[in-house]
Structure 1
């Protein structure tokens, strides 16, 4: 359900994925689209004028432009460089935050993203010492 406060592009992408089997039937796609809208988005949908939308493509474009303020802006690599392990934070929590941030980065910086993780671990952490001796070459390898 789209609540009006999340990324509209992501919502349309998920909707398209769920409707893959019906993707050629654009009229059905338009009719079913409203069934995935919460209260705020449904008010917007109900406010569309009769015959104001001519295609599913136009419906999704109008939807995205109306809810553009919630469009997710990709993060840059600097986001990882400034992330540090907090005092008292567990390795699991730090790893989860790091992995989430890495997945929000716009481009593939896999080769450069492992170093800040290691450097920003607390100095006495055993994993930091282990990664110094046997460095990870990718974020996937690091998380494994």
Structure 2
């Protein structure tokens, strides 16, 4: 579209090609002759879909996250990774520490992570997956005799 930026009529015609289904329904329902320029079109679009913008979270939100009493490891993981993915920037090194610190002090995974050198996200995720699998098996009644690694 940058090539045609001086041709507003063309910009308005090309605009819908970048829309998803929900935005396209909005576009199709615009009343005729209510938009007079490309700028008005983009302003109307922005006003309508302002709530769909992804808001980045500050590092402090990750630092304050912790596992709730009675919460499963899977539920904590889901909350943690959702928040981690909403952050802009590279906080992998911080994630290694904040994830562990968010676990209860008596949690087996925290103890294990304290004793092992985990230096990257892949190692952390592999370690977590082992514990998550054991927890899921225990919840299903299959792993009552299993020892957590």
Which runs of no fewer than 5 residues in structure 2 stay unpaired? 1-9, 127-149
Which runs of no fewer than 5 residues in structure 1 stay unpaired? 1-24
Q: 1:109 maps to which residue?
A: 91
* TM-score of the two chains, using structure 1 as the length reference: 0.62
**How many residues are aligned here?**
116
Larger radius of gyration: 2
Alpha-carbon RMSD = 3.2
TM-superposed CA distance for 1:28, in Å, is: 6.0
Contact 1:74 1:105 in 2 (8 A): yes
Q: Does 1:50 align with 2:33?
A: yes
Q: 1:81 maps to which residue?
A: 63
Equivalent of 2:21, from 13, 36, 51? 36
* TM-score of the two chains, using structure 2 as the length reference: 0.60
TM-superposed CA distance for 1:72, in Å, is: 2.4
Q: 1:126 maps to which residue?
A: 108
